[in-house]
Amino acid sequence: ETGVTQTPRHLVMGMTNKKSLKCEQHLGHNAMYWYKQSAKKPLELMFVYNFKEQTENNSVPSRFSPECPNSSHLFLHLHTLQPEDSALYLCASSQDSGQGSETQYFGPGTRLLVL
Amino acid sequence: GENVEQHPSTLSVQEGDSAVIKCTYSDSASNYFPWYKQELGKRPQLIIDIRSNVGEKKDQRIAVTLNKTAKHFSLHITETQPEDSAVYFCAASHTGGFKTIFGAGTRLFVKA
Residue B98 pLDDT = 67
| Rounded-to-integer distance, Cα A57 and Cα A48, Å | 7
Any B CB within 8 A of A10 CB: no
Yes or no: say if B75 and B35 are a contact pair by the CB < 8 Å rule. Answer: yes
Candidate from A42, A56, A107 with C-beta closest to B98: A56
Count other Cβ atoms within 10 Å, centred on residue A58.
13
Residue B97 pLDDT = 62
Residues in chain B where the model's pLDDT stays below 70: 1, 95-98
Yes or no: say if A111 and A11 are a contact pair by the CB < 8 Å rule. Answer: yes
Checking if the pLDDT of A46 tops 60, the result is yes
B16: left (phi over 0), alpha (psi -120 to 50) or beta: left
pLDDT band at A54 (very low <50, low <70, confident <90, very high): confident
Yes or no: say if B34 and A80 are a contact pair by the CB < 8 Å rule. Answer: no
Count other Cβ atoms within 10 Å, centred on residue A83.
9
Residue B2 pLDDT = 77
At residue B47, what is the residue type?
I
Q: Minimal Cα–Cα distance from A55 to chain B, Å?
A: 8
- Distance of alpha carbon B72 from the chain centroid: 11
DSSP string, A50-110: ETTEEEEE-S--TTEEEEEEETTEEEEEEES--GGG-EEEEEEEE---SSS----EE---E
pLDDT, one tens digit per residue, over A81-100 is: 999 999 999 999 988 765 55
Exposure of B86 by Cβ count < 10 A (0-12 exposed, 13-18 middle, 19+ buried)? buried
Q: Phi, psi at residue B34, to the nearest 5°?
A: -90, 155
Whether the ω angle into residue A8 lies within 30 degrees of 0, i.e. cis, is yes
Residue A6 pLDDT = 97
Instruction: Please report the residues numbered 32 through 61 in chain A whose beta carbons come closer than 8 angstroms to any beta carbon of chain B.
Output: 33, 40-43, 45, 48, 50, 55-56, 58
